[in-house]
Structure 1
Amino acid sequence: MRTVTSADGTTIAYDQVGDGDAGTVILIGGAFSSRAFPTMREVAKVLADDYGLTVINYDRRGRGDSADSPGVYDSANEVADTAALIEAAGGEAALVGWSSGAALGLLAARTVPGVTKVVAFEPPFVVDPKDHVPPKDLATKLHPMIAAGKRNKTVRYYLTKAMGMPWLMVGVMRVTPFWKQLAATSNSTAHDWAVMAPYMRGVKLDAAEWETVEIPVLVLAGDRTSPMLTKGAKGIAGVLPNAEFTELPGVSHNPKVEILAPAVGDFLTGK
């Protein structure tokens, strides 16, 4: 494990996988994930072993071994975290994000120097008012739950109200071993919401907000994912100056590494 210090003094923990000469890539997880999440580790290994990339797999603030900024939830802080990691990597890196991590990577590309490319896997932009639009007061209810240490309640609330997951499905998840991991990272959901809140309102994305992202961007979605996520992925690809959209066969929001990693590696290395 290695660490960097972000602009506000928060310590961010990361692993470096590989030491190749094909460039550096930073993996950015989505809600409830961490650098220990199997998919993150497996993607890192494939990109390092098969594509010669140096991979930084990090814990977003409030998760795993990274420190937190309790009560302070601002997407600018997470953008600054990526900037600190890029500086530690030598000043240049591509960003590969999953779900809210994909949105964070795109936000970072707007202002952070040294971002060379972005791969955004299913950023959960809600661009259709007919889809699940989270309540406007979500933060005012979420933050007190986190402050009170109500981790299970936080998980249920975020899954259903922010992500739109059916209560029955959440109830089934509650009795699986996976729930423990969700609870362990539940406090970080306020950071996810700080990133996503402006872009889950059921309106089309504003191209003017993204016109500074002139680097190449690959936006990915699986053909087995929800229509809402596909709409969001196509929506952001349509407003970015230099983006392409690709649909991955046989893939849902919980991606198959053997399909996702080659798509990412080929794009980053130009194969």
Structure 2
Amino acid sequence: MPTLLAIILASLLGGVLSVAFAAIVALSARASWVPMLISYAIGALLGAVFLEILPHAFELTKNIEHMAATILFGILLFFILEKLVIWRHCHGHECEVHTPDSDHGEHTGGHSHSAHADHSDHGRSGIMIMVGDTFHNFVDGIIIAAAFMADFQLGVVTSLAIIAHEIPQEVGDFLILLHSGYTKRQALIFNLLSSAATIVGGVLGYFALQSMQDWVPFVLGIASASMLYVAVADLIPGLHKRTELHATVQQVTLIGLGIGSIGLIKFLLGDLA
């Protein structure tokens, strides 16, 4: 099989499988499950960042300080991006907040419609996670291309490993989009569009492997910054709205399961990857 065709098929199959699995989980879930399962999504994001993406980025980078600066830059970048999204939802002075005790956050102004506030707040998380996931999928495509160009069997094994560790993250992404106020159909479409970045990365990696390889650590750093920002700045604060002991135990358990799922797959497939 021609190498380019193998890269395209592996990238396409990986995206379709992970998104399809995420859709099955999300479509079978009741609406009342989504706020609870968002804890799992946080764990999957943190696990992907600290157990998978960042170690790979630090391994590839030639300068640890530059990588740390890239992550810092990414966090600031997504803070600015989030501000732009907030401004896009605003309409002049109505969006300004001048009282620190407002119940509805910085973008609702004098309005009392909490549903609109929640949609704006959660909508930012949905956009942010799609940006980070698209970066991640793009890099996955480059990695698949590099593996296939080195050895066909290595390409097949690497693709399987990427598919396996993508599935928990895609499930988390799907849940975050539903939590953000998007419909199941919209979440499916957004995830499919994001997965197309794997094919783009694979094809570009095939034609310009050396130059693209130099960008892998930078893109990984930006992707990890995006996912970290979403988990810590946007999603975790929402968990503190429930202070009951059983809710806290449930949240911690699900965060642990999310992290554990990434760690388990990394452990089981470590020798293969």
| TM-score calculated relative to the size of structure 2 | 0.26
More strand by percentage: 1
| TM-score calculated relative to the size of structure 1 | 0.26
More helix by percentage: 2
Larger-Rg structure: 2
Q: Which has the higher contact order (CA 8 A, sep 6+)?
A: 2
